[in-house]
Each structure stands twice: as C-alpha cells, then as structure tokens.
Structure 1
C-alpha cells in the first residue's frame, strides 16, 4: 500500500520544525526507578525502568536512562559494522522491557512543557506547564541522605504523595511533576500504580559537561545514518535541548501517526524515511522497501535487519494519565 491516503498529515508535519528553545546545561542529574502498573489484570508484571532527570537553571529534561545506555550500545554496534564496509547492517531495534520513547522538557519561566516522542523521527507536542495545587505537610523523612518534606496533590486522575528536598532549590521533578520549593525526590500515587522512587543524585562536573559524545556514524558516500536514536549522538549529553530536527505536532496528529504505524507499517516507514531525506537535503535518498519479517532496505545505500522483542503485545488499560471522574 502506498502512503497517499496519509500525505496530508505527513506533508503538514514535515513542514513544521520545532522552534529552537534556549539551551541549558544540567547542574545535576537525579536518578529514579520508575514503576507503572500498565495492566491492572497483571499487576505482578509492571513496567520498571531506570529514568534520569537533568536539572538546569532554566529547564529540566526527564528521560530514560536505560534507553540512553541501549542507544550507546547501538551506536557502538553500528560503528563497528560500518567499519567493516559491507553495506549490510543488522540493527536490533527492539525496546523490549522499556516504556514509550518519550521525554519531558520543563521550562518554568516560560510556563511551557514540551513532550518529545520518537516514532523513527522526533515529534514534539507543546503543552502549558501544569499548575499543581500542592498541600505541604509538616511531615519529614530522610531519603537517600536527603532531608525531605511531604506534599500531596491531585493530578491527571490520581492522588499523589511527593517528598521534596528544600536544600536542593530546583522547582522540578520527574515526568510532569513540579512546582514545589525544592526538588521532588520521590512521588507515588495512592494506589501504588505509579511510583517515582529516588535512586541517586549527582552533581555534574562542569569540565566534563563540555565534552561532546561521539557523532553518529556515516555510511556509503558520507551519508549520516539516522535510526533509532543515533541521530542525537552528536549532542552533549548534559545539554538540555531538543534535537534540531524535531517536528512540531499536536497530540491528535501524533495519535494519527501512531494509528498509521499500527494499520499500515510500510506506509508509515516510507513517510518517516521521506522526512529524513527532506531534512538531509535529499542525501539519504533511495528506494524504501519493507516487509513483515523486519527487513528494511534503503537502496542503494543501506539495508537493515531489524529484530523485535517478541512476546505478547503490551496491554495498557491503566495509563499514567487517567480521565477525571
């Protein structure tokens, strides 16, 4: 099937690149063990993922630490295959065991929240930074050596209890949580279905923050390979900034793309590759072919063999954001 029925959505999204936000540099990194009971009929097998919060003066970014480590391994694997010069690359594209590839960027001075989601390409949905009605309690606790104070709120259909550290004057926290007079160290909803458990705090070495990670590998003809996260590789990992090639979308447009991916994966992948070609001035051109076995060919330049994680599809009847009753 050709992607013609979807061209209106595709061409509109392709034309709208996210306006660059002022970059910030992380002063600290907070680690969380995130637990989410996505399927209430299978509570003993929740999603568990290591997450990280980069905290700067003007912004923060909440993203998957596990996915970061997996992407670094993927970059290493691709670079080794490129060095062999065979033109045939095998890429394990599975995100088995991980949640959606979503990152949250808070800009409190602008009262803005940017949600970046990767569907091969990066898409960004802009929201207003939510105003949470926190009730601060006199209760205190020591968590990971940090003196914390209790606060509660109702947000997105759930009642949350959070512990914040006023000694760390960052008015931010994991996911969309923020607005307390100190860093949110832990947070849990009343049903223990969504848990952000503190897993460490580290100050960023200013000298190390100047380093830039290894650039994305290039293939035949010097063409940059953009796949599965490696196009972010040239960015300093301690810089809080959206990818330069992020595409602006509304929540509805993003959901439409997900429906296309589900119903017509070949058309979806063709659209994503065409977007990459446009961003690179046509230099990633070639004929795209795709089959259900996971073979993707961008001839005459690259061919990929992607492998899935296998197993039963993820059931999600309990999203983190619930409708208000």
Structure 2
C-alpha cells in the first residue's frame, strides 16, 4: 500500500462509521514519558520478540498511552487531510500496537481504544486494581532511585520498579497504583517488558479527543467478540468499513490469520 492510500485509510477510520459522543479529557501535560516495550508473541520462540516505543503523556487528572509510531501516523494523516501534501516515505513507520489507553484519575475510569479491521472501537471500564507487594530492594534507573514491587495481573506475575521522586501512581499499559511512577515492569518470564527510555517535563496542551481516531462505542464483551472474530476470520470485518477488497485478498487474509493464530500463542493477558 502506498503512502497516499495508507493515509486515506487512516483518515477514513477516523471519520467513517457509527461515531459516538464522548468527552475525552484535555489539559496541560505535566510529563511526557517513553518506554521501550518488548514482547514475545510465541511462548517457546525467543526469536519471536518484537519491540515498540510507547509514550505515556501525563496531565493532572489523566494519562494517555499510545505507540509513538501510531501517534506519528495519525498526526501525518491529519496533516495530509488539511494540506494534501504527502509526507516523506522515510518518515512513515507502521505500528504493531493499535490500541490506546486513557486513564482518568478523578473518575477512576479508563477508556480503551483499539483498531480492528477497518473500524476503531472503544469501551469504558473501571481502572484495574493491583494488589502490590512492596519490597525493600532498590536500584537506580535513569538517575531516579527506584523501589521494587510485585503483583499478579491477568495470569502473570510482574516485577515493577517505581520512583517516589515522581509521585504519580501510574505507569505503562494498564499498570498503576504504586506510590510513584513505574519506570520498569516485566513479567517473571520476561515475555513482556516495559523499560523507561526518557522522562521530560512538559507544558504542552493535550486534547485526547483530537489525538484519537473517532471510535464506535461498544461494551467490553462486544470488544472481545470482535477481536476473536477478526483473529479467526479477518475477512468478516475487513469489508465492513466502507472499502471493498477482492475475494482473493480476503481469502489470503484468512489463510494468514490461521497461520498467525498458531504461532502467536502468547498473549499478554492470559485471563480476564
């Protein structure tokens, strides 16, 4: 797919379909944090590890977590929609991580947004609760003194390192609830690892509603069914976004999905 076609698809994802009204939070940021995210898609194959640079934007009452490549692609699509000037191909990076998470501290709610096929969907739920076990062990990360903690989440045991020097009870992905910012967290098999890459103060204004593709509101149960359906037979959703693809392409997508399901047998969340 060429650059123009890709940007047009991204634009169509953001403007088409059944769009709902949601008050996405907006405010001046306090911190912009990046994490190196490493994950192993096949539990037996250490060579199946993949990497992505993730960003956590923190304001007073919310945080916004997204792949940096995805954010760049969305920014390019918005710029192209206005200017009609194509970006340099070298600047275009495909993201493997399609979801975005907004945590609202004041309401103790989260907004989960994900792209499935040609649609973008969202569901709301309470912020996850973690039963952290605080440890005495300490170490330095990026010049910050960090303390150790452990917890269980979705079928895995995690080790986290957090700093009270940044007294924000947040972290990458859904992780939260420690007496300071999480700078590093990994499961005990080290299949899923988040390591802070940079921390900087910020005074930029962030309107999460403008940063995101306009999603369709669904429930968590509907989201799980859509993910399962797309994983098993992507052709059933590929043609649902207003664009039509030939049968040969759809059959190939279904065949590849079967092969991918066999190989990618190590999801981050093993249980609900």
Instruction: Return the TM-score normalized by structure 2.
Output: 0.76
Show CA shifts across 1:249-278 (max 9, x none).
12332344342686363x6344323xxxxx
For residues 58-207 of structure 1, the aligned pairs below 5 Å read 58-72=61-75, 82=84, 98-119=95-116, 120-204=118-202, 206=203
In 2, distance between residues paired with 1:186 and 1:197? 5
1:289/1:193 CA distance change after superposition, 3 Å: closer
Q: Does 1:41 align with 2:44?
A: yes
TM-superposed deviation, 1:125: 1.4
On the 8 A contact 2:130/2:176 being kept in 1, the answer is yes
Contact in 1 for aligned 2:157/2:188 (Cα 8 Å): yes
Point out the structure with the larger helix share.
2
C-alpha change, 1:25 and 1:246, in structure 2 (3 Å) is farther
CA–CA separation in structure 2 for the residues paired with 1:76 and 1:21:
21
| Long gaps (5+) in structure 1 | 1-13, 85-90, 211-237, 274-287, 296-311
| Aligned partner of residue 150 in structure 1, secondary structure | strand
SS in 2 for 1:66: helix
1:245 maps to what in 2?
Answer: 214
Q: CA deviation at 1:117?
A: 0.3
Preserved contact between residue 37 and residue 193 of structure 1 (Cα < 8 Å) = yes
Q: Is the 8 A contact 2:24 2:208 kept in 1?
A: no
Q: Secondary structure of the residue that 1:115 maps to in structure 2?
A: strand
Shift of 1:95: 7.7
Q: Which has the larger radius of gyration?
A: 1
RMSD of Structure 2 on Structure 1 (CA): 3.2
Q: 1:192 to 1:76 in 2, by over 3 A?
A: same
Q: Partner of 1:307 in structure 2?
A: none
Change (3 A) 1:294 1:67: farther
Give, in angstroms, the shift of residue 244 of structure 1: 7.5
Instruction: Say whether the 8 Å CA contact 2:30–2:59 is kept in structure 1.
Output: yes
User: Is the Cα–Cα contact under 8 Å of residues 18 and 247 in structure 1 kept in the other structure?
Assistant: no
Structure-2 residue corresponding to 1:263? 233
2:127, 2:111 → 1: CA distance? 9
Does 2:29 correspond to 1:23? no
Pairwise CA distance, 1:313: 3.8
- Change in CA separation of 1:145 and 1:293 when aligned onto 2, cut-off 3 Å: farther
Q: Note if contact 2:98-2:115 (Cα within 8 Å) is conserved in structure 1.
A: yes
Stretch of structure 1 that moved more, 245-254 or 145-154: 245-254
- TM-score, reference length from structure 1: 0.65
Question: Which blocks of at least 5 consecutive residues in structure 2 are unaligned?
Answer: 1-16, 251-258
- Partners in 1 of 2:111 and 2:46 — Cα distance? 30
User: Is contact 1:140–1:150 with CA below 8 Å preserved after alignment?
Assistant: yes
Change (3 A) 1:58 1:70: same
- Segment drifting more, 121-130 vs 178-187: 121-130
Residues 59 and 240, structure 1, Cα contact 8 Å, conserved in 2: no
